[in-house]
Copies of this chain bind each other. A is one copy, B any other.
C-alpha cells in the first residue's frame, strides 16, 4: 500500500486503522491518517470485497426502470440503505420470468450480498433456489425461510375496499379494467371486485370487465371499448392508477365529467395521483414502506439476524373522483 510506505508503517497497520480492527499507537495512527489525507486514499472496494467475501452491494430487481410504481419503492430502498455502507445495483426483469432469472444470475456473479425482488414473475421455488446463494427479500409473495422473505399485500381485500366504496355510494353498474391476464395481482384484484359485487347482490356482467395492461394507453382503450359496445355504467374501477389516468382522459375526451357523471377509482396511489384533475380516489399501496422495510429485512438477514418485517395494509384513499350516484 502506498499509504503504508508514506507513513512508514506496514500495510496491516493501515488496514487496522481503516477498519478499527485493533488498537494502534497514537503516533502511527496520526502518521497514517495524515498520509491518507495527503494521497486522498480510499480503499479499493473490489479488493476489499474479494478478501472479505462481502461486496457491500445489493441487487434490486424491478420490472420497469421507468415507472412511478417502482420509483416510489426504490426511494424506500434508498432510505433503507442509508448509513449502511451498501450501494445497490438496479436491474430490470421487464416483466419476464426468464429475463428476471438471467438478471439475478448476473447479480449473483457480481457477488451482491443480497437481493430485493420487486413484483417478481418467477415461481416461488425458483426464488427459493436462488436464495441458497444469497438472501432474497421479495414483494408479492409469502415466503419465510432463513434466507428468503416475502411480503404479500392483500390485493383481493384492496380491490374489495374500492368496489365496496363505490357500492356504498349507490353505484350498481361498475366497470372494471383489469391488469394483464397472466398477472397474479391483477387476478386477485378481479377477485375482490367480484366478491364486493356478489356481497351486494349485484350480478356480475362480463361485458363490464375489459382487459388492460397497467399502462395509461390501455385505460384509454378500455374505456373506448366500453363506450363502443354501448355499456351502461356509472363507475369505473381501474386495476392500477396508470390505467385510471388513461380512463380519465378517455372520459375527458367524451365530455363526460368525473365524478359528476362517472366515478373513477384507481389502485396504487402513485405520487402523482394527488395531483390529477380531479385528485384520484384510489387504493393506497405503501410503496415507500415496502421498499424501506424490505431493505431493512434484507440487511438483517445479511447480518445473520432472523428475518422479519411487516408492511402496512392497503387502504382506501377517498379523494375527488368518486361521488354518490344521483
On A, residues with C-beta under 8 Å from B are 42-47, 49-50, 55, 57, 65-68, 71-72, 74-75, 78, 87-92, 105-106, 108-111, 216, 245-246, 248-249, 252, 271-272, 274-279
A90 neighbours in B (Cβ, 8 Å)? 88-90
A45 neighbours in B (Cβ, 8 Å)? 109-111
Contact B57 A66 (CB under 8 A): no
Q: Which residue of B lies closest to A56 (CB)?
A: B110
Taking the closest CB of chain B, its distance from the CB of A158, in whole angstroms, is: 22
Report the copy number of this chain in the oligomer.
Answer: 2
A49 neighbours in B (Cβ, 8 Å)? 46
Contact B278 A44 (CB under 8 A): no
A275 neighbours in B (Cβ, 8 Å)? 216, 245-246, 248-249
Contact A46 B111 (CB under 8 A): yes
**Residue among A43, A72, A275 having the largest count of chain B Cβ atoms under 10 Å:** A275
**Residue among A43, A248, A276 having the largest count of chain B Cβ atoms under 10 Å:** A276
Q: Which residue of B lies closest to A41 (CB)?
A: B109
A42 neighbours in B (Cβ, 8 Å)? 105, 108-109
Q: Give complex CA distance A65, B89 in Å.
A: 13
Contact A50 B44 (CB under 8 A): yes
Q: Give complex CA distance A248, B249 in Å.
A: 15
Q: Give complex CA distance A270, B72 in Å.
A: 16
Q: Give complex CA distance A80, B55 in Å.
A: 25
Contact A272 B271 (CB under 8 A): no
